[in-house]
Chains A and B, each alone.
Chain A
């Protein structure tokens, strides 16, 4: 099954990239605030039970995809 893992910096963790992009957008006169940049990981995981597949993706987050000191993830089974 196709799985999408969205990794975001935790609230409160400084996101200099987001800040720089926000400033760039302000340069184009866009009204925008709280720009945060994360990472989107897509993958195929074998299985047909969405709950089981989600659990596998969660295990991958715990092992490698997410650093819990600074990041959190949300998992979407498509």
Chain B
């Protein structure tokens, strides 16, 4: 299994992604500079890392969405290849129009760095299939712009088509405004595109996979991906 991690000026979670995919999971994982025109041959998964690409100029992710490598990421996604964007990676996927919506400033105005609980809304995705629907897992968030927003009609469409993959919840899996850290509409933490091969999420599963570093709540997502590629 080969993973490409696009690196933009200002990415700062690229090494978390490389560590999780490469060192912890043992996948063939390579960083790819944003100026490259092509992903490595036979890339299975593109993992777009968090950070502050291009200093968050204009809008978070707006400039990174135009980087040369993103054209090939789009081609990869159009061909059914897997793409996962975390934090700034989610913002980049929205700006690149690979996913709907936008991430606004947190309702509290503050940068939030804490652990959250997520409920699996879709357990049939390549990113979640080792977990069960309704399962709750705990991972960190660290962002100032994670307030997921969509026009009301588009939000209804997203919900109706099962586009919500992950939702903020309590430790017991209860949903509600009290458990949403950033004001995201409907408590949305992660979404998928129509085909289910592009996922964006604000929380950081890649920061919760190595028992040497702490809790491993994010492992379920990586085991899911591994299950996909074990069959390839």
Please list the residues of chain A having a beta carbon within 8 angstroms of any beta carbon in chain B. Answer: 13-14, 16-17, 19-20, 64-65, 67, 69-70
Contacts and interface: CB of A to CB of B under 8 A. Distances in A.
Contact of A67 (B95, B107, B109): B95
B196 to A, nearest CB: 21
Residue from A19, A20, A67 whose CB has the most chain B CB atoms within 10 Å: A67
Contacts, number: 34
B149 A13 contact: yes
B186 to A, nearest CB: 15
B105 A67 contact: no
B41 interface: no
Interface string B60-100: 00100010000000000000000000000000001100001
Given A69-B149, A70-B102, 16 more contacts: A13-B104, A13-B149, A14-B104, A14-B147, A16-B106, A16-B107, A16-B109, A17-B109, A19-B109, A64-B66, A67-B59, A67-B62, A69-B100, A69-B101, A69-B150, A70-B149
Contacts of A14: 104-105, 107, 147, 183
Given A64-B66, A67-B59, A17 B101 contact: no
B183 A67 contact: no
Q: Which of B108, B149, B183 has the most CB of A within 10 A?
A: B149
Name the prevailing secondary structure of the B interface residues. loop
A20 B109 contact: yes
Contacts of B101: 69
Contacts of A16: 105-109
Contacts of A13: 104, 149
B118 to A, nearest CB: 23
A46 B104 CA distance: 34
Contact of A65 (B58, B66, B106): B58
Contacts of B66: 64
Nearest to A19: B109
Contacts of B62: 64, 67
Contacts of A64: 58, 62, 66
Interface in B134-162: 147, 149-151
22 contacts: A13-B104, A13-B149, A14-B104, A14-B107, A14-B147, A14-B183, A16-B105, A16-B108, A17-B105, A64-B62, A64-B66, A67-B59, A67-B62, A67-B95, A69-B94, A69-B100, A69-B102, A69-B149, A69-B150, A69-B151, A70-B104, A70-B149
